[in-house]
Structure 1
Amino acid sequence: MGRIPRTSLRGGRYPLLEIWVVLWTCLWWIVTPLAALDRKFWDGGKVPRHPVRGTWSLEDAFPTLGLLPGTLGFAVPPGETNRIIFVNMGGVAYEVSLSNKLSSRLFLDLSDRVFFEQESGLLGMAFHPRFQTNGWVFVYYSSKEGAGGLIQSFNRLSRFTVPPGGDGRPDPASEVVLFHQEDPGPNHNAGCLVFGPDGYLYLSVGDGSLWSNRVTQRLDAGFFGGILRLDVDRKPGNPPPNPGFGVNPNAYSVPADNPFVGARQYGVGDQVIWKGENPQALRTEFYALGMRNPWQFSFDPKTGELWCNDVGNGSREEVNRIRPGANYGWPWWEGTISTTDLEVEGTALPEFEYSHFSGRTAITGSHFYRGSFYPELDGAYLFADWTGDIAVLRPGEPGEPEVTWIVNLPGVVAFGADPRDGSLLLTSGSGRIYRLVQRPVVGEVWPEKLSETGLFENLPSLIPRPGLVPYEINAPFWSDHAIKRRWFALPGEDSMMTFRREGAWTFPAGTVWVKHFERPYHRPSTMLFPMETRILIQTTNGVSGASYRWNDEGNEADLVPDEGSDAMFYAWTPTELVTQIWHFPGRNECLSCHTSVNGGPAGFNTAQLNRRTREGVTLLSQLDAWSVAGYFSEPLVRTHQMPALVSPTDETQTLEHRVRAYLDANCAACHQPGGLTRTPWDARIGTALDQMGLIGIRSSVSSIGLGEFRIDPGHPENSSLFLRISTLGAFHMPPLGTSEMDTEAVDLIRRWIVEDLPKREGYDQWAARWLPEHWESLRSQSLDPDGDGLNNFTEYLLREGPLNPQRRWKPVIAREGSRFVLRFNRWAGRHFEVQWASDMTPAGRWSRLEVEENDPRATLSDSEASIPLPDGPTRFYRVIVAGD
């Protein structure tokens, strides 16, 4: 009997510590057989395997080109059809040759002067109408000044020149600055840059994240919150710009017919905004104002009308028909929603608006189409939402356009046109360039009635057809007090899904998921009334979904229209009867959460499904049962060692683990790398807390009173995550499918911020405490300053110091009566698991010690673990230690 002095760190979900021991004992082992799930043949019912997706689709425009991540927009030199310039936020622009042999090269590199963070970067590019003779290229970007931690960002509009006789690329040293103003924040910089049919340069500018009329309703406070119109040719009769804000009067003039040239005062309704105190401070460059973040605009090539998308805050997204001098209301109005008590009159109404309650969250690219490539779209304005929905707007009477949502592509950034044929190109967050194509209608329609889908043998009782398997998850998504039931089915009886310990699984086409929503009908909630049943099916190119609304009798459900619908219900919460608005999602809304980054179905993954469920009177592992029944392409082993969320309401778990489970279930569908979010932090349970981008990170919504930090330990009132979860309305998170407050989650996160985080010591704090400044070089996680065989991160996990080799956490084997036990200190918030192997060779297989006391879950308080060891031949033991 003895201890082998070896420790090591392993990669994986968390940094792990392995402590090894060996014991000579006698063999004794009990194996409990797993109750098998009897897999039944699933015939697919009448759920469409290939649902109708409409006549429009998107294809990879340049499949041999590869990805262009960070691409924000397009620019095409006038009169040319052989190349497109793609603008990258990081500070570079790429030229793609459209010859038979597609190729790309660097066109312009400004990365040495571009401030690249969130919505700051290289934002727009436009070629002068006479580019072929003067070589002028105009660029709008976020420039940086300073060094180290003192970098300041500026909004800069500049001109570059392609030298005669060169290779067709502008000289980075030829920059002429038109204006250069300080940027108050990294977001809301807009940046659409286009020459209009009148030959003038138009530029959209955002509010700089400043939610006040201090800038967006001021004509003397800089270039914020509107559309500018400049004369870069300095035509005779056009006045020079007024001084201030880094203006270069030798680089442009102001069109004499700009709406604010010669203005003596300015106001809207009964609000007098500028009284004409200093005419030289007036920014006559403005063509229209009162916008939040006018992402992309487009001229109607036939009429010259200007149409613009304005990104909303938390409630509405706008399409505006731009009129000279018009005020579009921000920040007093968000669409037609008043944001103040002033009820300011006289602002321009949006041509079209849509609510975030639809599942759409941020309007992005747009293009006014005229041409013959798409005859059906001639005279239509196309626009997209960041969640992926793409719409066709056909102008009608003011405020009464006809809008049709036609196709979905998550992460659309901007529109452009292929100069060869006029077909529409779209950039996406993935870095791939897509082309809009029209194809014949194909596919099957969804049944009009839920009973016609063939999912249930008895619909009112929800008795599933053979092959449709019920399942449970660990941490349900909040759904306004609704109680949910879930099923899935794989086609046939021999198709399989591919399991991954972490990340998205893959599924055969024809896999079906069903989620059913019920509400308490009386109090207490022993009687439940059905509201909605949603169906998701895996196709050969993604997932498709539909929803069914139950009738008042509770015996049938009808297919929800493509665009979705709303209803009002009475329902019991845990404390009272409430009236709530319930949203039935439309077809494309399903794809807001069930995205490719999630593998399709959100919540159908290892951490959510790794739990014990009841099969008759037997409790068994859900994953193991499916493995034995043949649902996975390879059998699963040691599922107890795999990631598993806990219930956020489980008081036996640590606050941090419960909060992390809530964030994974409710936020990670969008908040993860590649997710559909404008705020980059990672909510996945497998991401270390210090790497999530939450703790102590400055909030992008601090300027509107939603907290200075994403999480400020000890201060929920200054933490944007808490404020957005605890506030209903425009700023509420999660933004989809909810109109009721999750009070338990609000209290959970408040307690975590107030009680846990102030006393939590991260690695950096631990290293600074133990290794002062003169030992700073020894703070690396992989170093072992005291030479005891444990590196710094291991010492941190075990709450030891890095400078005392005599003090070391270790497990010991002791005798208790007639048996041996493994004893060690079990620290709160750490996960400990004992494993064994029969030999120490590289091929030795480690298994969890299957005794009740060997529970790997983190505990609420420190304790001493005493793990009984079985009799038997020689065995080696190790302890796996992991942090939350």
Structure 2
Amino acid sequence: MHTSRLPALLAVAAAGSLPPAAPVAAQTNNPFPDPIPVGIGVPIVDYARVATGARLNLLAPDPLGRLFANDQRGDLYRVVPGAAASPVYLDLAAQPGIDLRTSSGEQGFQSFAFHPEFATAGAAGFGRFYTVHSDDDRSPTPDFVPNSGNAFHSVLLEWTAADPLADTFSGTSRELMRIRQPFGNHNAGQLSFNPEATAGDADFGKLYLGLGDGGSGGDPQDLAQDRDNVFGSILRIDPLGTNAANGKYGIPADNPFVGEADVKDEIFAYGLRNPQRFSFDAVTGNAFIADIGQGAVEEINLLRAGGNYGWNEREGSFVFLNNSGVGGSARGDGLYDDPIAEYDHQGAFVLAERNGEAVTVGPVVRDPSIPGLAGRLLLGDFPSGSIFYLDASGTLPDGGQAPLQELLLVNEAGETKRLIDLINDAGVPATQRADLRFGYGADGEVFVLNKRDGVIRQLVPEPSTAAAIGTLGLLMASRRRRRR
């Protein structure tokens, strides 16, 4: 039987005595004064379009290989390569019982994930997929609450399609989990199954959900270090189970804190500020968390069962002081899990716009046709749209900014660009903010999204291959349908 590697280690090492905390150094907002070096350039082409202005958050395949992308305003698109506009598969905002809240950049339809058995007739997960959204209806009783505040609810839903092969959704839904949010930011984010897990593996069919610390700034309710709530955590549940407190989903027996007093069994890892996005490596099963920083440092973490990433005692690998800066490095003090990579808010790529700094993460590139990126983890600063990469093919980096290189994009005219340039060249109103997101296909394809021009772009080996990309994708999807 194939044995999946759960993220990093399921076994949590027995805790020993902890060393004293590192002394606090002088405050700084520039712990990495050297710039991130420019690396390689990779061709990028327009792959598909959705509505102009769509606030795209995620692009991912279903088990049939079809591609889907969600708009924070409520639409789940079935992405059609080369089409002038991709059709809507499901309009979340139009469904009965949903009062979708989209009043800020961190609210709305946040993420979706298809059960790995979505297309397997007779299986328990047949036809099922999952969404998480912000809801203005605060009257239902939530499953989890903060210490105070009731800005809106984050709601996890399960959808069951009557016909998984249909081009538009028809079916039913049920609520799995409801979380009361204290503030308007740092709420629910990424949903994902581990794509490396196969039937029989411990991680097969387990659903991961990233949750922020509840918002405001600095974690004023100290929720991220309090395991008696779910805020500031990565949760792991069995959506087809029933042994949770509300009876609507299951708690995996191998979750790291199961049975501990005053700890929520759903928690897989904690001590996070705003883990809006995380991604699994389809080869190793490693998962990488993009945790958005407060005032100085952005970080990428390796997901580990039972991991504690230190917020709000740490910002990156540094002692957190306040909204304006950090103290000295605390890397290696043994108190918390250190990031594998970091960057600060003073880099030239963000100083030009000063429109906020926030890290996002994409896939580990496993497409052999892009050899310069093979085994590299893509990440980026989503407001500015700057894209970086680091080597995730072997021993992972040991933190700091040194592992990062900037990825440049080469358009079909052979010009070197950044994403913000491509958006402003697309004929939409000029903007200084890209809102970068990544997507991936069933065969390792890598996509670049944004929340401005409605264009889904694809990284490709060379511009001359662009015309073949859409045809190849359609052929492979057709073959998958015939095999099932």
Code of the aligned partner of 2:302: R
CA distance in 2, matches of 1:86, 1:307: 21
Q: Quote the residue 1:296 is aligned against.
A: 277
Q: CA deviation at 1:258?
A: 0.7
CA distance in 2, matches of 1:146, 1:325: 31
The alignment partner of 2:186 has SS state of coil
The alignment partner of 2:64 has SS state of coil
Code of the aligned partner of 1:348: D
Alignment of 1:383 onto 2:379: yes
Alignment of 1:107 onto 2:94: no
Structure 1 residues 356 and 261, CA gap change in structure 2 (3 angstroms): same
Q: Quote the residue 1:90 is aligned against.
A: 73
Q: Map of 1:194-233 to 2, 5 A cutoff?
A: 194-196=192-194, 197=197, 198-199=203-204, 200-210=206-216, 211-212=219-220, 214-221=222-229, 223-233=230-240
Q: Quote the residue 1:163 is aligned against.
A: 162
CA distance in 2, matches of 1:397, 1:177: 38
Q: Map of 1:525-536 to 2, 5 A cutoff?
A: none
Q: CA deviation at 1:214?
A: 2.7
CA distance in 2, matches of 1:146, 1:84: 33
Structure 1 residues 257 and 65, CA gap change in structure 2 (3 angstroms): closer
CA RMSD of aligned residues (A): 2.8
Q: Quote the residue 2:405 is aligned against.
A: 404
Structure 1 residues 167 and 399, CA gap change in structure 2 (3 angstroms): same
Code of the aligned partner of 1:354: Y
The CA deviation string for residues 300-333 of structure 1, in whole angstroms up to 9 with x for no partner, is 2221111111111110000111111010011111
Q: Map of 1:715-794 to 2, 5 A cutoff?
A: none
Q: Map of 1:257-406 to 2, 5 A cutoff?
A: 257-263=254-260, 276=261, 279=262, 282-340=263-321, 346-359=335-348, 360=350, 361-386=357-382, 387-395=384-392, 396-399=395-398, 402-406=403-407
Q: CA deviation at 1:79?
A: 2.6
CA distance in 1, matches of 2:441, 2:302: 25
Alignment of 1:120 onto 2:120: no
Code of the aligned partner of 2:238: D
Alignment of 1:256 onto 2:236: no
The alignment partner of 2:388 has SS state of strand
Q: CA deviation at 1:54?
A: 4.8
Code of the aligned partner of 2:344: S
Q: CA deviation at 1:229?
A: 0.7
Q: CA deviation at 1:284?
A: 1.0
Code of the aligned partner of 2:405: T
The alignment partner of 1:175 has SS state of strand
Alignment of 1:130 onto 2:117: yes
Structure 1 residues 191 and 65, CA gap change in structure 2 (3 angstroms): closer
Q: CA deviation at 1:190?
A: 4.3
CA distance in 2, matches of 1:124, 1:75: 10
Q: CA deviation at 1:402?
A: 3.1
Q: CA deviation at 1:293?
A: 0.9
Structure 1 residues 373 and 409, CA gap change in structure 2 (3 angstroms): same
The alignment partner of 2:59 has SS state of strand
Code of the aligned partner of 1:350: P
CA distance in 1, matches of 2:221, 2:51: 44
TM-score normalised to structure 1 length: 0.38
CA distance in 2, matches of 1:219, 1:95: 38
The CA deviation string for residues 481-528 of structure 1, in whole angstroms up to 9 with x for no partner, is xxxxxxxxxxxxxxxxxxxxxxxxxxxxxxxxxxxxxxxxxxxxxxxx
Structure 1 residues 65 and 362, CA gap change in structure 2 (3 angstroms): closer
Code of the aligned partner of 1:402: P
Structure 1 residues 152 and 358, CA gap change in structure 2 (3 angstroms): closer
Q: CA deviation at 1:88?
A: 0.8
The CA deviation string for residues 107-165 of structure 1, in whole angstroms up to 9 with x for no partner, is 11121521112111000000010101311010011112169xx9951011110111148
The CA deviation string for residues 643-689 of structure 1, in whole angstroms up to 9 with x for no partner, is xxxxxxxxxxxxxxxxxxxxxxxxxxxxxxxxxxxxxxxxxxxxxxx
The CA deviation string for residues 707-741 of structure 1, in whole angstroms up to 9 with x for no partner, is xxxxxxxxxxxxxxxxxxxxxxxxxxxxxxxxxxx
Contact map agreement 1:412 1:426 (CA 8 A) in 2: no
CA distance in 2, matches of 1:115, 1:326: 32
Code of the aligned partner of 2:101: F
Contact map agreement 2:110 2:188 (CA 8 A) in 1: yes
The alignment partner of 2:276 has SS state of strand
CA distance in 2, matches of 1:195, 1:325: 18
Q: Quote the residue 1:75 is aligned against.
A: 60
Code of the aligned partner of 1:409: L
The CA deviation string for residues 446-465 of structure 1, in whole angstroms up to 9 with x for no partner, is xxxxxxxxxxxxxxxxxxxx
Contact map agreement 1:317 1:363 (CA 8 A) in 2: yes
Q: Quote the residue 1:692 is aligned against.
A: none
Contact map agreement 1:213 1:331 (CA 8 A) in 2: no
Structure 1 residues 102 and 130, CA gap change in structure 2 (3 angstroms): farther
The alignment partner of 2:223 has SS state of coil
The alignment partner of 2:214 has SS state of coil
The alignment partner of 1:104 has SS state of coil
Alignment of 1:428 onto 2:450: yes
Q: CA deviation at 1:65?
A: 5.5
Aligned length: 354
Larger radius of gyration between Structure 1 and Structure 2: 1
The alignment partner of 1:191 has SS state of strand
CA distance in 2, matches of 1:290, 1:129: 29
Q: Quote the residue 2:29 is aligned against.
A: none
Contact map agreement 1:373 1:422 (CA 8 A) in 2: no
The CA deviation string for residues 562-605 of structure 1, in whole angstroms up to 9 with x for no partner, is xxxxxxxxxxxxxxxxxxxxxxxxxxxxxxxxxxxxxxxxxxxx
Q: Map of 1:661-680 to 2, 5 A cutoff?
A: none
Higher relative contact order (CA 8 A, sep 6+): 2
CA distance in 2, matches of 1:412, 1:61: 18
Unaligned 5+ segments in structure 2 are 1-37, 140-148, 198-202, 322-326, 351-356, 409-417, 421-433, 464-484
CA distance in 1, matches of 2:234, 2:166: 33
Q: Map of 1:847-866 to 2, 5 A cutoff?
A: none
Code of the aligned partner of 1:414: R
The CA deviation string for residues 426-467 of structure 1, in whole angstroms up to 9 with x for no partner, is 111213222223559xxxxxxxxxxxxxxxxxxxxxxxxxxx
Q: CA deviation at 1:70?
A: 1.1
The alignment partner of 1:402 has SS state of coil
CA distance in 2, matches of 1:425, 1:195: 19
Instruction: Answer 1 or 2: which has greater helix percent.
Output: 1
The alignment partner of 2:404 has SS state of strand
Identity of aligned residues (%): 31
Contact map agreement 1:126 1:137 (CA 8 A) in 2: yes
The alignment partner of 1:416 has SS state of strand
CA distance in 1, matches of 2:269, 2:166: 38
CA distance in 2, matches of 1:288, 1:151: 24
Structure 1 residues 54 and 349, CA gap change in structure 2 (3 angstroms): closer
CA distance in 2, matches of 1:322, 1:191: 15
Q: Quote the residue 1:56 is aligned against.
A: 42
The alignment partner of 1:376 has SS state of helix
CA distance in 2, matches of 1:399, 1:151: 39
Unaligned 5+ segments in structure 1 are 1-51, 264-275, 441-884
Q: CA deviation at 1:219?
A: 1.4
Contact map agreement 2:132 2:188 (CA 8 A) in 1: no
Q: Quote the residue 1:801 is aligned against.
A: none
CA distance in 2, matches of 1:259, 1:367: 25
Determine which of 397, 415, 420 is the counterpart of 2:438: 415
Q: CA deviation at 1:209?
A: 0.5
CA distance in 1, matches of 2:92, 2:223: 28
The alignment partner of 2:166 has SS state of coil
